[in-house]
Structure 1
Amino acid sequence: MFLWIILAVLTAAVAAVLLATLARSARSSAPDRAGEIAVYRDQLAELERDRDHGLISAAEAEYAKAEIGRRLLAVAGEAEKGADCPTARTGMTATGVAVTLLVPAVGLSLYLLLGSPQLPDQPLEARLENPGNNMALLVAKAERHLAQNPNDGAGWDLLAPIYFKAMRLGDAELAYRNAIRLLGTSPERLAGLGETLIAANDGIVTEDARLAFEESIRLQPNNPRARFYVALGLEQAGRNEEARTAFEAIAADSPTDAPWMDLIRQHIAATGGAPAETAEAPKGPTADDMAAAGEMSEGDRQDMIRGMVDSLAARLQEDPNNLEGWLRLVRSYSVLGDKDKAAEALRTGLRNFPAEGDEGRQLIALAREVGLAVEGVTQ
């Protein structure tokens, strides 16, 4: 009963506010017309002064005077009509009152007829027991389980990549570290931890990230994903010769048509190596490139490609005047099926290379080729 009293008071308060607003609007309509009439009269007087001082010609003055006079007569006529028909405002107010009172009355009646006011709320416990396909509830269920069973390494191992994809980087780092502590190290867990640390530090390979990747390489020496980040850390530290050697070693051990080869060649050139193989405009990883990604498992292959593409996106943030990079990034996200990121890359690229120029037209042509909507993007 107390709840119904509160709801009734709140409904009455809202209705009172609406009625007061309607009444205020009705009272203020006449002064608004009077103000318009005064403005037009001032304009006529100012027009006469301008003509007397020779600021405008007589013909221009007559034309402007006629236009202002037409508007003045129209406003004056409406004001006179409103004065002669006082029931107009009364009718509007009556309509507002009816609507204001009718809506809560009808809503309450329908709720009492169709609703279930005596049905208790479904507690979180019940919703967590049957989360269905609701990812937020699935994560909440896993989190609740881990709160009660903090030593369940499999649970932490499951949540860590989900946290990373949701950019909950602090939670992802904690989950990876707990999974490693409870289940032991593995190339996947170490690489995931390293990428989380890099993402949390704006693309910088920190010391902890480097150690994680080096341990991943120790467990899986031919892991190009971990080797790439170790080489990237050397490049960021200014150790270009060591970085170039590391990138060249990755290139030597990779298939010539591997999807990460264009990026590797770019880093070789950036660290002082021969850029001969990068003379042709790089093309992003295609479906055939992805299928030819060495002997990696499907999950590792997708993670590797995603890591390469994200690394390219990070480099473009630092050096946005790279048309070939934007073209490759748009195509890569499209091949991965991430249309939202492809569209965002297109918009960012067009901010650096406007659509009116040759470079911008290349971006627009590529967008049409991969099936991205370009309407409104160039605005």
Structure 2
Amino acid sequence: MSLPPNALNELHALRAQGLALRAAGADAAALADLERRIVDLVLAPEPARANNRLLAACVGAALLLAAAGYAWKGNPGAINPAPPPDRTEEMVQRLATRLQQQPDDAKGWAMLGRSYAVLGRPALAQQAYEKALALQPQNPDVLADFADVLATAQNGSLEGEPAALLARALKAEPNHTKALALEGTRALRAGDRERARALWQQLLKTAPADHPLRGIAEKGLGELG
């Protein structure tokens, strides 16, 4: 999956900036900040990735690009906008290895969890999310993503621990888009049509116009009539 032209242009600019910083002997903090910006760019959702599967809508193959760059600590120029598929395992393993050396990196653990989820390894994804959540127990992104992974392991059921995680996510951030989408789905399955309607309407009211999860809310509201 390729990035849109504007994102690719920005990515190339960031790579050039990284090379310049290294040539100038920039300190580790400056390089780490640049790396975070690259990760945020690659992880940014795009409408073309939207579909009816919540996990695919929120992560997709671009996440693995971010994991690759994140694992290559201090070397922004190592990121490739289109890495060969056969290097995916190596990239994720690099990230896992680096996190063993830097276990307090909550964002890194969350990224590893998403990467394992994309690779279809729910047990490893759960372990990574548990570490991320221990470091940031009120992070709504981690809470919602963890709920998604646990639901996948429960054959799509959002009851039990996923429901508790979603409740925590919405308490921390009432307008969290993914938590609203998932909780709306859970409410509908539980027979609470009015709650589902309210949650999806709130999502449409607060989410950016191009957010991929708007499609789930629109489809759900259409089915509710």
| Alignment-mate amino acid for residue 165 of structure 2 | A
Q: Percent identical across equivalent pairs?
A: 23
**Structure 2: distance between partners of 1:139 and 1:256:** 32
Q: Is the 1:217–1:226 contact (alpha carbons within 8 Å) kept by the matching residues of 2?
A: yes
- Measured against aligned partners, the alpha-carbon deviations of 1:323-363 in whole angstroms (never above 9, x if no partner) come to xxxxxxxxxxxxxxxxxxxxxxxxxxxxxxxxxxxxxxxxx
Equivalent residues, number = 141
Structure 1 residues not aligned, in runs of 5+: 1-131, 274-379
Q: Amino acid of the residue matched to residue 248 of structure 1?
A: Q
Counterpart among 213, 217, 227 of residue 170 in structure 2: 217
Kindly provide the amino acid, as one letter, of the partner of residue 218 in structure 1. Answer: K
1:137 pairs with 2:82? no
**Hey, what's the Cα distance between the residues in 2 that align with 1:247 and 1:145?**
39
Shift of 1:188: 1.6
| C-alpha separation in 1, matches of 2:186 and 2:214 | 18
Structure 2 residue aligned with 1:231: 184
Change (3 A) 1:240 1:170: same
Give the unaligned 5+ runs of structure 2.
1-77
Partner of 1:241: 194
Question: Shift in Å at residue 234 of structure 1?
Answer: 0.6
CA contact (8 A) 1:159 1:172 kept: yes
Give CA deviations for 1:227-252 in whole Å, capped at 9, x if unaligned.
Answer: 11111101111122222232233334
Deviation of 1:169 after TM superposition, in Å, equals 0.9
2:177 partner letter: P
Question: Partner residue of 1:182?
Answer: 135
**Which of the numbers 112, 122, 125 marks the counterpart of 1:169?**
122
Letter in 1 for 2:173: Q
Letter in 1 for 2:161: D
Distance 1:251 1:170, change over 3 A: same
The alignment partner of 1:265 has SS state of: helix
1:265 aligns with 2:218: yes
Deviation of the 1:220 alpha carbon: 2.0
Check conservation: 2:147, 2:162, Cα contact below 8 A.
yes
With over 3 angstroms needed to count, the CA separation of the structure-2 counterparts of 1:253 and 1:162, relative to structure 1, is: closer
| CA distance in structure 1 between the aligned counterparts of 2:96 and 2:208, rounded to whole angstroms | 41
Structure-2 change in CA distance of 1:262 and 1:189 (3 Å): closer
Q: Is the 8 A contact 1:153 1:183 kept in 2?
A: no
Cα pair 2:104 2:135 within 8 Å, conserved = yes
Question: In structure 1, what is the Cα distance between the partners aligned to 2:210 and 2:95?
Answer: 40
Q: Counterpart amino acid of 1:168?
A: R
Question: Cα 1:181–1:265, aligned 2, differ >3 Å: closer, same or farther?
Answer: same
Decide whether aligned partners of structure 1 residues 243 and 175 sit closer, same or farther in structure 2, where only a CA change above 3 A counts.
same
Counterpart residue type for residue 207 of structure 1: G
The answer to which of 211-220 and 243-252 deviates more is: 243-252
Retained in 2: the 8 A contact 1:153–1:178?
A: no
- Structure 1 residue 144, shift from structure 2 partner: 4.4
Within 2, Cα distance between the matches of 1:255 and 1:163?
27
Question: CA 1:163/1:242 → structure 2, altered by over 3 Å: closer, same or farther?
Answer: same
The equivalent residue for 1:160 is 113
1:206 to 150, 153, 159: 159
Runs of 4+, deviation exceeding 6 Å: none
Which TM-score applies when normalising by structure 2?
A: 0.52
CA RMSD of aligned residues (A): 3.0
1:195 is displaced (CA, Å) by 1.4
Query: Letter of the aligned partner of 1:235 in structure 2?
Result: L
